[in-house]
Chain A
Amino acid sequence: EAGVAQSPRYKIIEKRQSVAFWCNPISGHATLYWYQQILGQGPKLLIQFQNNGVVDDSQLPKDRFSAERLKGVDSTLKIQPAKLEDSAVYLCASSPETGRRSYEQYFGPGTRLTVT
């Protein structure tokens, strides 16, 4: 079974520039998550999709971050404009779950973003 794919793996941009990350979840997984992981910390959920609808975006800085999951499969996360504090690893995860139960999540390799 193919895992969660993410691209690019690394990105270096200057502050105030924009950047986009792409994620392809495991085939058939209804739920997709984007996490931000700052060095030395655990992942923090930014947004959760179930199929192509947003379930939770309470911790997404909506003034600069946006995400979409067209057709309920691939997803993109965008930052515009980037700030220095956005330097982190952005992780995408997927899960077969629907509804209220929680299952294990399968993570992609992440995109390491450096904002200079």
Chain B
Amino acid sequence: SQQGEEDPQALSIQEGENATMNCSYKTSINNLQWYRQNSGRGLVHLILIRSNEREKHSGRLRVTLDTSKKSSSLLITASRAADTASYFCATAWNNQGGKLIFGQGTELSVKP
């Protein structure tokens, strides 16, 4: 079964607005990763946050992790049409040798 559950399933915003996607998971993790998938570039790693970290930034991306609530959020600031894609969270469990469990994804549409 899927470990991560993304919310919302679909999100439509205007260029320049911020987009927030949430991910909830069920068991203790080693780290949580966010990936982006579009038809042009396939599945691409965006950011990894470890279980002992609470927030991480990369360019226009900001990820938070709340292990007490077993949840994470991905914020994309000042969105662009090129950010249109599906976004997946993936959890890595402790002592699972790198195995990732992906959620169902959030489909983001950024309108110019």
Contacts and interface: CB of A to CB of B under 8 A. Distances in A.
Interface of A: 31, 33, 35, 40-45, 48, 50, 55-56, 91, 93, 95, 97, 99-110
Interface residues on B, range: 20 to 34
Interface stretch (B63-71, B73-81, B92-100): B92-100
Contacts, number: 70
Interface in B70-112: 88, 90, 92, 94-105
Interface of B: 2, 4, 30-31, 33, 35, 42-45, 48, 88, 90, 92, 94-105
B67 to A, nearest CB: 16
Contacts of A93: 43
Given A42-B102, A44-B102, A48-B99, A105 B45 contact: yes
B98 A48 contact: yes
6 contacts: A42-B103, A93-B43, A101-B98, A102-B92, A102-B98, A104-B48
